[in-house]
Amino acid sequence: MQGRTNEAIIWYMYHSGFAVKTSNHLLIFDYYLDRPGSRASANASILQEMHNRDVIVFASHGHADHFTPTILEWENRNQRIKYVLSHDIELGKGRQEVTIVYPGHKYQVSGVEIEVLESTDMGVAFLVSCDDLRIFHAGDLNWWRWKGEPDEENSSMAENYKKQIDLLKGKQIDIAFIPVDPRLEEYYSLGLVYFMQAVGAEMVFPMHFGMNYSVFQRLKNDISSAYLKHIVEIAPSNWQFTFKRHSCSKGDTL
């Protein structure tokens, strides 16, 4: 892929973990080891891809399902690795290869532009411009509407989520990673639907569903067909995808 633009390879690495290989960079988002051997094939592929590339590892916040200290050991594999960590992550602060980021700010790391949004839970979300591609990873920025929460809190959550997503309007996003947490029950897709309505992206990966792959069948039943054509179905045997502008392959949309 060296020298090519508008193309990427994407690996699903469990839960909210993804890797994106562009023409000149490898971007890794919210990697964590759920347990030894989980997503073994995908994770092994990423370790191989690290060699002789500019690598940027992102962690949206310090929750154990989005961050593991293991990532800080990867610099032993590649001296060109950089880390972009949310401000709430203490580990790594003060290290030369680590950039600590805050909502509302923009950063340049290894020639990559990073715009940081505020999460509605903890930490941040990332809008990354890299090799003629624009990639959005929401972290835990989501419309977290929980049953039993007071109406005031649910209204505040909706307002805060929309405020952050609206910052993306007009950005022409190529690849997006958006939470669809089944624990929210009938509200699981609120955040995804609003993102598609307000912003959209050429290729959208649902995330934060753990092992509950049935969420994709629910999306087929619940989401407008206009949105489904952009949403990529992930399965235990289907974790590597190819993006080309205006098309995607090796991984069907819904």
- How would you write the pLDDT of the chain (254 residues) with one tens digit per residue? 444 468 999 999 999 999 999 999 999 999 987 454 455 556 777 888 888 899 999 999 999 999 999 899 999 889 999 999 999 999 877 888 999 999 999 999 999 999 999 999 999 999 999 999 999 999 999 999 999 999 999 999 999 999 999 999 999 999 999 999 999 999 999 999 999 999 999 999 999 999 999 999 999 999 999 999 999 999 988 889 999 976 555 456 76
* Predicted pLDDT at 3: 44
3-state SS track over 43-93? HHHHHHHCCCCEEEEEECCCCCCCCCHHHHHHHHCCCCEEEEEECCCCCCC
Cα–Cα dist 234/243, whole Å: 14
- Tell me if 239 sits within 8 A of 42, measured CB to CB: yes
- Would you say residue 1 lies in a domain? no
Select from 21, 81, 17, 68 the least CA-distant residue to 209.
Answer: 17
Residue with structure tokens 């995908």? 42
- The count of domains in the chain is 1
- Would you say residue 117 lies in a domain? yes
Task: Look up the CATH number of the domain holding residue 223.
Answer: 3.60.15.10
- Would you say residue 212 lies in a domain? yes
- Would you say residue 37 lies in a domain? yes
Domain of 86 in residue numbering reads as: 7-249
- Would you say residue 220 lies in a domain? yes
- Would you say residue 45 lies in a domain? yes
- Would you say residue 89 lies in a domain? yes
Is the pTM above the cut of 0.85? yes
Cα–Cα dist 119/236, whole Å: 28
* Predicted pLDDT at 32: 87
- Would you say residue 204 lies in a domain? yes
- Written as six digits, the tokens of 87 are 């401000």
Cα–Cα dist 76/183, whole Å: 38
